[in-house]
């Protein structure tokens, strides 16, 4: 159940377990971090990154004579993904030898404790692409056999540059742009062989190195000639008379290193002076004789190959500010207050709960652990553009840490009437490690709790720490951002295909019931754009 979506190429039309066959992406449930994107490498799955959100994703699996290369993108920049029309190289499988393959999209389940929203597949394209007709596809540096000879010309990327220093041998090629995916196949000839992949190479005194041996693996940064060990892993090592796949992912300040399908290291790489350095290559100790082949390095982003027209992504945001309220001025209940910009009058639109303004820059839900907010509560402003609204709010969840029985259920409202509305609210609770953003929908006077949709957002929402939620909505499609990171996209027609678009006649603040009530969330800013 945790591996709930597989996309790619499979050796049968309906594989019994697509996670264990072929060349494909797999989406794995990652608890509070929402999703984990896997790619099949050899006989296992390589975990490219966690915190994959519920957004529109373009998956591209390009077959090679042997194996495949994987790419992914989103409508706009999201965690781990490039923004359309670019895509990000995710992984390389150099091993698969299936002679006959079927393109497939296989769904297991998406949901929890009865919630239900199917994955939506917009399009499937299958074809032969000129961009992938060469041996290394989109690589900007590559060579079938790396001899490390001075002046040797690589298949892609120019000449190899050879240097020797303190008993170490470096063979470097410079494609002129930083690399996001580096891969090579490795065979060692002796137990004593020590070798590795080099990237972020500026000069012989400044580069990053993944060092490999039969004793384990080490991640090293060389800075101003000084070698600094960042991390070690003795649980995975090279084996004699074996062919190993070695790959490195480096983008958005995150570095991941893999031996075959096993993750060796995954760390946040703080910006350093060589983060944008462009040299890549191989390293070996002076007395080692490893054999590297099928070496390739790809840019962090490459264009998506369009085989047929694809609907343009919807990522509309408001450009003109209609309302803004920082909740300064006269203290009192939010009801009947006039916004600081736009002259709108707040009105309690639904529920028995109360939001109080302190006049110093906060509007607080009148609630506590002992007396939580009594169910769903809305405060709203009139809206004269029924087909679009872009709302932003800054929220400080109640409490200071987990274990205090504090609950956050605050967010935003899009209102047509008492029978038709959408609220987008946080869910922060002691009973789960992590938080989520939830969308509850009432249409035609009916609300099915289990039609709610959500995405887990890990530590982007925590007790006592302010965050900004922004939701753009056109009555059908919506995009949700937390602190400017896209975390969720959906359409109401995903859930109710035959319903007309919601008419947005009021907008505002929401306090929701979701398996418990709010205990005192604080709003510190509200903005409405068109």
> And the tokens for 482?
């937390």
Burial class (CB in 10 A: 0-12, 13-18, 19+), 347: middle
HSE at residue 141, side-chain half, CA atoms within 13 A, is 30
Q: What is the pLDDT of residue 269?
A: 76
Evaluate whether 355 touches 511 at the Cβ level (below 8 Å).
Answer: yes
The set of residues, in sequence order, having a beta carbon less than 8 Å from that of 276 and lying 6+ positions away, is 178
> And the tokens for 385?
């553009």
In terms of Cα–Cα distance, which of 260, 300, 263 is closest to 280?
300
Q: What is the pLDDT of residue 166?
A: 63
For the stretch 5-45, pLDDT in tens is 999 999 999 998 999 999 999 999 898 999 999 999 998 99
221, 222, 226, 228: CA torsion to nearest 10: 10
Residue 321, SS3?
strand
Q: What is the pLDDT of residue 107?
A: 87
Q: What domains can be seen in the chain, in order of their start residue?
A: 3-126 (no CATH), 141-303 (2.60.120.560), 321-529 (2.60.120.560)
Instruction: List Cα–Cα distances, 80 to 76, 138, 249, 332, in angstroms.
Output: 11, 19, 10, 44
CA 499 from chain center: how many Å?
A: 30
In terms of Cα–Cα distance, which of 265, 239, 245, 251 is closest to 68?
245
Q: What is the pLDDT of residue 50?
A: 94
Residue 450, SS3?
helix
Q: What is the pLDDT of residue 351?
A: 97
> And the tokens for 527?
């903005």
Cα first-last separation, the chain: 41
Query: Phi then psi for 32, rounded to 5 degrees?
Result: -65, -20
103 vs 126: CA distance, rounded Å: 8
In terms of Cα–Cα distance, which of 271, 164, 260, 167 is closest to 212?
260
The set of residues, in sequence order, having a beta carbon less than 8 Å from that of 519 and lying 6+ positions away, is 365, 367, 368, 369, 372, 373, 398, 399, 405, 406, 407, 408
Residues 363-402, buried b or exposed e (16+ Cβ, 10 A)?
bbbbbeeeebbbebbbbbbebeeeebbbbbbbbbbbbeee
pLDDT tens across the length of the chain (530 residues): 788 899 999 999 999 899 999 999 999 989 899 999 999 999 899 999 999 999 999 999 999 999 999 999 999 889 999 999 999 999 999 999 999 999 999 988 655 666 666 688 888 999 998 888 888 999 999 999 876 566 789 999 999 998 877 667 899 999 999 999 999 999 988 888 889 999 999 999 999 999 999 999 999 999 998 999 999 999 999 998 889 999 999 999 899 999 998 999 998 876 666 888 999 999 988 777 788 999 999 999 999 987 776 777 888 999 999 999 999 999 999 999 999 999 999 999 999 999 999 999 999 999 999 999 999 999 999 999 999 999 999 999 999 999 999 999 999 999 999 999 999 999 999 988 889 999 999 999 999 988 999 999 999 999 999 999 999 999 999 999 999 999 999 999 988 999 999 999 999 999 999 999 999 999 999 999 99
410 vs 426: CA distance, rounded Å: 6
For the stretch 168-222, pLDDT in tens is 789 999 999 999 999 999 998 888 888 999 999 999 999 999 999 999 999 999 9
The set of residues, in sequence order, having a beta carbon less than 8 Å from that of 356 and lying 6+ positions away, is 331, 332, 333, 334, 363, 364, 366
């Amino acid at each position: 159940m945790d591996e709930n979506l597989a996309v790619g190429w499979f050796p049968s039309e309906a594989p019994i377990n697509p996670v264990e066959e072929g060349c494909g992406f797999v989406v794995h449930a990652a608890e509070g971090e929402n999703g984990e994107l896997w790619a099949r490498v050899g006989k296992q799955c390589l975990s490219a990154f966690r915190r994959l959100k519920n957004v529109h994703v373009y998956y591209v699996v390009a077959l090679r004579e042997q194996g495949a290369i994987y790419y992914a993108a989103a409508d706009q920049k999201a965690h781990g993904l490039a923004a359309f029309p670019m895509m990000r190289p995710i992984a390389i499988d150099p091993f698969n030898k299936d002679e006959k393959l079927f393109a497939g999209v296989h769904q297991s389940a998406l949901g929890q404790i009865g919630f239900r929203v199917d994955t939506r597949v917009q399009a499937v394209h299958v074809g032969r692409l000129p961009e992938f007709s060469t041996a290394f596809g989109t690589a900007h540096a590559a060579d079938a056999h790396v001899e490390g000879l001075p002046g040797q010309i690589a298949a892609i990327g120019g000449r190899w540059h050879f240097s020797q220093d303190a008993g170490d041998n470096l063979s470097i090629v410079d494609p002129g742009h930083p690399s996001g995916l580096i891969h090579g196949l490795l065979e060692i000839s002796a137990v004593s062989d020590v070798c590795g992949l080099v990237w972020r190479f500026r000069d012989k005194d400044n580069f990053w190195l993944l060092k490999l041996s039969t004793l384990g693996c080490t991640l090293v940064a060389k800075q101003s000639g000084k070698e600094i060990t960042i991390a070690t892993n003795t649980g995975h090592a090279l084996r004699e008379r074996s062919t190993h796949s070695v790959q490195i992912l480096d983008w958005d300040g995150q570095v991941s290193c893999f031996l075959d399908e096993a993750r060796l290291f995954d760390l946040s790489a703080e910006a350093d002076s060589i983060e944008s350095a462009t040299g890549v290559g191989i390293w070996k100790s002076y007395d080692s004789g490893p054999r590297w082949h099928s070496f390739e390095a790809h840019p962090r982003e490459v264009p998506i190959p369009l085989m047929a027209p694809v609907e343009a992504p919807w990522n509309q945001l408001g450009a003109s500010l209609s309302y803004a309220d920082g909740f300064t001025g006269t203290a009192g209940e939010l009801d009947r207050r006039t916004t600081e910009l736009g002259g709108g009058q707040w009105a309690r639109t639904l529920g028995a709960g109360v939001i109080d303004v302190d006049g110093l820059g906060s509007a607080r839900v009148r609630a506590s652990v002992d007396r939580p907010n009594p169910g769903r509560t809305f405060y709203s402003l009139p809206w004269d553009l029924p087909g679009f609204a872009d709302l932003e709010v800054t929220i400080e969840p109640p409490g200071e840490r987990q274990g205090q029985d504090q609950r956050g259920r605050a967010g935003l409202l899009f209102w047509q009437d008492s029978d038709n509305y959408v609220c987008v609210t946080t869910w922060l609770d002691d009973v789960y490690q992590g938080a989520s953003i939830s969308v509850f929908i009432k249409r035609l006077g009916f609300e099915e709790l289990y039609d709610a949709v959500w995405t887990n957002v890990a530590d982007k929402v925590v007790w006592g720490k302010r965050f900004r939620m922004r939701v753009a909505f056109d009555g059908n499609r919506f995009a949700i951002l937390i602190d400017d990171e896209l975390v969720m996209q959906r359409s109401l027609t995903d859930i109710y295909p035959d319903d007309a678009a919601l008419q947005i006649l009021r907008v505002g603040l929401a306090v929701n019931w979701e398996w418990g009530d709010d205990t005192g969330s604080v709003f510190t800013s509200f903005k409405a754009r068109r």
